[in-house]
Structure 1
């Protein structure tokens, strides 16, 4: 139960319009919960979460295109390292943001986060207009800065869990994370479209492809999204309130004494770690295997995963999360097997695009199910304060997915990478069945 330190008896609905902190707030008590406050918090936070995923994956959408520009000679290894940096910093920053909700509150956290996200938005808008490739270190720094968008997730999601009763957290968190994940597909869809026309008379750059030369405007995506970031800041400043649930760093670290923290981390690395990792490298995989013209399909993976994650929350509320996490593990193993089959059976003309896309979209589909189900499980397994910490921790570790997959595809064969995915998915499915899904499971959830 989430409570405040105050002894005031005024109903929550009366004072909340005049305070930035909620009084007498207990989402599991109908008399101490205000659904309007909860849902408005969800939608404002979700709007900003979409922007966070957009900036997190903006380098991944731009980098494959940079290699075709005059003066930008990026090798595949350099490109993969640029794709890896947002995942590295995003994972590290998630470990920081996971501690913020009970320390600074939802409102302050959102305001600060939105302001920080403006830095990489402005940086990537500027750097792509340079006539020649800048120092590679600058590109790495901006890629690291984009990780701010990945880091805030571990603060946004736990703070949202403070606002909803356990019976609705599967739906609420599924909606927030699912819609937030749309930021990945939005930026992957918008970048190829937005770079094709001039805005405000600004000059573009020459791109050389197999079909000839064309002018592109790589600064457009940043210019398009910056106003939305400003709107997100205004919404957070004016509409959000905080649940005054305080705990220090030492108190938050008691989650590591519970074995289920580690087991759920394993499960979420399977689902979101692979989702984020493959979403971040999907464009380079398409470009390197099938050609630059296939990058236009990159948004489909994140779109499928996000739709499923958003829609599966109610099913997890109804049937429990454990069984769906088991299904996700088995499904992801089978899906990776389809991709692996396409790789090993490739003829002289290379892998089949149809087989590759089928297997990849299947992986994203089952990852979406698992992302929804794990977020249903955690509030059921842990108490309110610990659940927020576990959500933040597991999200932080899984956020290293883009970093790990970028490094893996840079140094390992695709066959090896997808073989590892199959083995790991089956191990997670067995763990989920034993501890959370089978009849009489230790922590059936």
Structure 2
């Protein structure tokens, strides 16, 4: 089902592409984008809800709050492994409808749970885990969109889908402080809470505000998207990717950039509060994922022109420099410098997200690329779980986040060498 049943699909056939392929591809892309935007918003709800829980009567420890912010990353990454292969099994349009509708489970559940300070940590943890459905949707979305476009345009198309989708992270961090203060929404969703400074808030709005958009986009996907012919494959057919060493190399490299992006996004509000507690600047955390998401399509576009490997290589150089800068400004307790360096770091993760995803369709055959895109995205998403926990461990044991940042620098240096050796140097195994 969908707008029109498609019997033939070959986007690399220029006549077909201009005649009708481009029209179908763009329609599916522009429905996929808001679906992915909402998925990322739901995935990262806890990065901001966790910051507000204790102020409305909950009594969770710092470790428990970091765990709630990290759990969606763990389940999201795990679900991505399975979601990678489901569009090929049940159809891309079909799975977009199902996976978008499933976002209603955590949003409605959180909306009710946060209204009762006696809600147990276990219940909150289950709801946080369910937010991982949003994280899982990324792999299925990218695997679905890739076959719609010819190879020469896949970098840009995947960059738009992922980049605007990633904006959901920034949107939830920017909108939450606003919507929890809106009584006209709260009047429809439950009673208010009073925080320490005496302000009246409706913390349930942070979740309930996404319910209507999710319903609208689910309906749009049902009626407006298509299942492509020739793209359905069993898991066995798709699993050939695991025998190719470049699957694992690109998984390492995409974890380097997207794992950093989503992990830093999940940890940034709590990190600002822990390193500069006297300033109350966690409301600025949305700027990082905003910059990283907006620049991702640019990374894909530049890589279409210059090559993904060379863009990735020089981007990692800047990542390393920016991380060293973050450490420097933490040591001198200078928040503006810390924020500036972290924003540059977010920018570099976004560019590399686009450039590495441009490399994959070049390295792999057309039948393998969608599964590789999904699988690399699945493993990279564990960054959303690992990075907040590494920061939490570093702060608890060392009293600072600096040791965690040193670990990340080591990872980036190894990634730089891998990129140069396999893909960027003169006689590289695969020039891309």
TM norm structure 1: 0.92
Residue 328 of structure 1 corresponds to 315
Native 8 Å contact 1:199 1:220 kept in 2: no
CA distance in 1, matches of 2:412, 2:24: 38
Residue 271 of structure 1 corresponds to 257
Note the 1:299-310 alignment, pairs <5 A: 299-310=286-297
Residue 387 of structure 1 corresponds to 369
CA distance in 2, matches of 1:153, 1:303: 17
Range with bigger deviation, 191-200 or 372-381:
191-200
Match of 1:144 among 84, 109, 129: 129
Match of 2:343 among 350, 356, 361: 361
Native 8 Å contact 2:326 2:338 kept in 1: yes
How far 1:410 sits from its partner (Å)? 1.8
Match of 2:66 among 80, 85, 92: 80
Provide Cα deviations, 1:126-182, integer angstroms capped at 9, x if missing partner.
11112x231110000000000000001110001100100000001100111110000
How far 1:269 sits from its partner (Å)? 0.5
How far 1:416 sits from its partner (Å)? 1.1
Deviant stretches of 4+, over 6 Å: none
Match of 1:402 among 384, 389, 394: 384
How far 1:16 sits from its partner (Å)? 8.6
Native 8 Å contact 1:84 1:403 kept in 2: yes
**Aligned-residue CA RMSD in angstroms?**
1.4
CA distance in 2, matches of 1:199, 1:277: 33
Name structure 2 gaps, 5 residues minimum: 396-400
Note the 1:61-100 alignment, pairs <5 A: 61-70=48-57, 72-100=58-86
Note the 1:283-302 alignment, pairs <5 A: 283-291=269-277, 293-302=280-289
How far 1:199 sits from its partner (Å)? 2.1
Instruction: Give the match's secondary structure for 1:378.
Output: helix
TM norm structure 2: 0.94
Provide Cα deviations, 1:385-422, integer angstroms capped at 9, x if missing partner.
21111111110001111110121122124111100111
Decide which structure has greater helix share: 2
Native 8 Å contact 2:292 2:347 kept in 1: yes
CA distance in 2, matches of 1:119, 1:310: 30
Are the structure 2 counterparts of residues 339 and 261 from structure 1 closer, same or farther at C-alpha, using a change threshold of 3 Å?
Answer: same
Instruction: Give the match's secondary structure for 1:213.
Output: coil
Residue 24 of structure 1 corresponds to 8
How far 1:195 sits from its partner (Å)? 1.0
Match of 2:403 among 416, 423, 429: 416
How far 1:36 sits from its partner (Å)? 0.6
User: How many aligned residue pairs are there?
Assistant: 419
Residue 194 of structure 2 corresponds to 206
CA distance in 1, matches of 2:209, 2:78: 28
Match of 2:208 among 223, 242, 249: 223
- Whether 1:36 aligns to 2:23 is yes
Residue 121 of structure 1 corresponds to 107
Instruction: Give the match's secondary structure for 1:312.
Output: helix
CA distance in 1, matches of 2:328, 2:3: 58
Range with bigger deviation, 317-326 or 240-249:
240-249
Instruction: Give the match's secondary structure for 2:200.
Output: strand
Native 8 Å contact 2:49 2:206 kept in 1: no
Are the structure 2 counterparts of residues 330 and 207 from structure 1 closer, same or farther at C-alpha, using a change threshold of 3 Å?
Answer: same
Are the structure 2 counterparts of residues 235 and 17 from structure 1 closer, same or farther at C-alpha, using a change threshold of 3 Å?
Answer: closer
Instruction: Give the match's secondary structure for 2:44.
Output: helix
CA distance in 2, matches of 1:246, 1:227: 31
Native 8 Å contact 2:299 2:352 kept in 1: no
